[in-house]
Structure 1
Amino acid sequence: MSTAEAARNKATFNRLHAATNSRDPEIIAKVIDEVVDPDVQMSTPLPIAATGAEALKQVWVMLLKVFPDVHVTVEDLIAEDDRVVIRNTVTGTHRGEFMGVPPTGKLITYDEMFVFRFADNRITEANGIVNVASQMRQLGLLPEPPS
């Protein structure tokens, strides 16, 4: 893959990232339709019955209900061949029920990493790791680890 293709994949990811930080479900859905293959293979466990790009749209609807001020900060972004790898920090105020916990008003911060595979300038595969244990500790569902 050429450097130009890797740069194009990074730019495509950056469009998706900017859309998610808009916090506007319509903008997010529109950009997902433009840059994510409808049958994208998602390996991240999601609490949603939908698959493909529809699952990604529903995740963002859910996140915006739970954390209306959600913000994703890209800490690292690496593009090589047909892959873009990102490490994010996610923050948001817990304003909606999440994992059975009513809103706490707490600012929640957690990390995640994703590897996206691209074909024809669209995301066709997404493999991710989300630090759910950190979310659960901050919501009081898990004890803090011993120091």
Structure 2
Amino acid sequence: MPLDQLPESRHFPQGLRELRLFADAIQQDPMPILEKLPCLVVLWLQGYNGRTMVCSAQGFPRLQELRLSFLSVEEWRMEVEAMPRLSRLMIFDFFNMKKLPEGLLHLPSLKELELVRMYYLDSEDDITWKKLEGKGCKVGH
């Protein structure tokens, strides 16, 4: 069954700590729904196919690990105070995104960023990448 958008966050168990969501092509940004899950610590998301992805301030209050793969996103916006506890971010097979979101610089707990097959991202020119490394974040690719 095609999943082009997620159900509202109230339809998910509110005590959910880990979610692995693998879809062929979610058409609507899943972050506004997923970021409202109050206990979510680990999120694996695969298959969002949209122009933008937005993480709001106060979103993902307990998230510590985020794995994103096979996403076709041009722009990822991250507001200040989003994901305050995120320490590990893994991004695999991102299509269309040419630069890392500057909002990554506002993640106080980010210690590790792993990038694999970021087809349009140029590590030599990406300012956010360089600033993260300068802050002591381990950036691997």
Question: TM-score if structure 2 supplies the norm length?
Answer: 0.28
Larger Rg: 1 or 2?
A: 1
Question: TM-score if structure 1 supplies the norm length?
Answer: 0.27
Task: From the two aligned structures, give the one with the greater helix fraction.
Answer: 1
